[in-house]
Amino acid sequence: MDPRLEVQEFLTALRGRITPERAGVTLYGGESRVPGLRREEVAQLTGVSTAYYTRMERGDLRGVSESVLYALVRALHLDEAETTHLIDLAHAAGPTRAPRKKPVTRVSPRIGQLLDTMRDVPALAFDRLGDPVASNALGRALFPELFPEHGAPLNHYRYLFLDPRSQKFHSDWDASARGAVSSLRLLAGHDLEDRALAALVGDLATRSEQFRTWWGGHTVRTHTSGTKQIHPSALAPLRGAAATFPQEEETAFAPPR
């Protein structure tokens, strides 16, 4: 992913969504407007020159101080996730670093013990790219399509966007899918040189028009908690598993190659 393009598209999207009224910009009668704020208005609210802000929005955040970045946060009314993403993008604009090899995700003994004790609720653990790395019996029963009987577990993001069954499984598929895109976008800001993540995003953007559209919106979200709605028919195998395998221990999966 191109850091300059990421910055350009992100700041342009943020500037276009905020209204002058919300930003506290004075409007004069008969003034012709485009949606959102003008660059010079964002520059004024941030306390920098129009030329300086224009350079920022064109993707050049090199040397931009934290005070200016947080002034921009206030000017555009960014939330916590958007602020984190902006700071991450600014850090990525620094000196080029050699790509780092991501460590293989393994289930820690503590997570294994936790899943082992959760015998009456579905429990799953995923790595940063959405590959299941551990589960208990009820978790596999609730998401049977992620765990084919004769095959490796499926990647959650690929299942969500590339498998038509996911739209029947999730009662509110749009909300689940949009949240997944926003979480991936935030993750991408942490390390724009993450090749595995770039490959996943490229595959999803190539094969799913909805993913491609939402990814281009540059919406970011911190996923800490939430509620997912699933179709009632998905509960049938869950009830069967609860009655048949109440004492089955958690299963850890080999990391995908």
User: pLDDT tens digits, residue range 30-43?
Assistant: 565 778 999 999 99
Residue 44 placed within a domain: yes
DSSP reduced 3-state for 175 = helix
Which CATH number characterizes residue 216's domain? 3.30.450.180
How far, in Å, CA of 106 to CA of 156, rounded? 17
How many residues would you count in the chain? 257
User: pLDDT tens digits, residue range 151-195?
Assistant: 899 999 999 999 999 998 888 999 999 999 999 999 988 888 888
- Residue 248 predicted with pLDDT over 70: no
Of 92, 121, 151, the residue that ends a domain is 92
Of 92, 126, 144, the residue that ends a domain is 92
Q: Confirm if 234 and 142 have CB atoms less than 8 A apart.
A: yes
Chain-centre distance for alpha carbon 152:
24
For CA atoms 167, 169, 173, 177, the dihedral sign is: negative
- Residue 100 predicted with pLDDT over 80: no
**What are the structure tokens assigned to 63, written together?**
């040397």
Q: Confirm if 210 and 161 have CB atoms less than 8 A apart.
A: yes
Q: Supply the angle between the helices 80-92 and 66-75 in degrees, to the nearest 10.
A: 140
Q: Confirm if 139 and 245 have CB atoms less than 8 A apart.
A: no
66 plus 186 within the same structural domain: no
How far, in Å, CA of 189 to CA of 89, rounded? 6
Q: Confirm if 78 and 70 have CB atoms less than 8 A apart.
A: no
User: Would you state the pLDDT for residue 70?
Assistant: 95
User: Would you state the pLDDT for residue 171?
Assistant: 86
Which CATH number characterizes residue 35's domain? 1.10.260.40
The domain in which residue 175 lies consists of: 109-252
pLDDT above 70 coverage of the chain, percent: 82
Q: Confirm if 154 and 162 have CB atoms less than 8 A apart.
A: no
Burial 70-86 (b: 16+ CB within 10 A, else e): eebbebbebeebbbbbb
Chain-centre distance for alpha carbon 1:
15
User: Would you state the pLDDT for residue 26?
Assistant: 79
User: Would you state the pLDDT for residue 164?
Assistant: 94
User: Would you state the pLDDT for residue 117?
Assistant: 84
User: Would you state the pLDDT for residue 155?
Assistant: 96
Q: What is the CA radius of gyration of the chain?
A: 22
Of 63, 92, 121, the residue that ends a domain is 92
Average pLDDT over residues 50-57: 96
Q: Is 227 exposed, middle or buried (0-12, 13-18, 19+ CB in 10 A)?
A: exposed
231 plus 116 within the same structural domain: yes
Residue 237 placed within a domain: yes
Q: Name the average pLDDT for the chain.
A: 84
How far, in Å, CA of 135 to CA of 29, rounded? 61
165 plus 235 within the same structural domain: yes
User: Would you state the pLDDT for residue 116?
Assistant: 76
Residue 43 placed within a domain: yes
Task: Give the number of domains in the chain.
Answer: 2
User: pLDDT tens digits, residue range 59-88?
Assistant: 999 889 999 999 999 999 999 999 999 999
User: Would you state the pLDDT for residue 257?
Assistant: 41
Residue 99 placed within a domain: no
HSE-up (13 A, CA, CB side) for residue 150: 0
In this prediction the pTM is 0.73
Average pLDDT over residues 98-118: 71
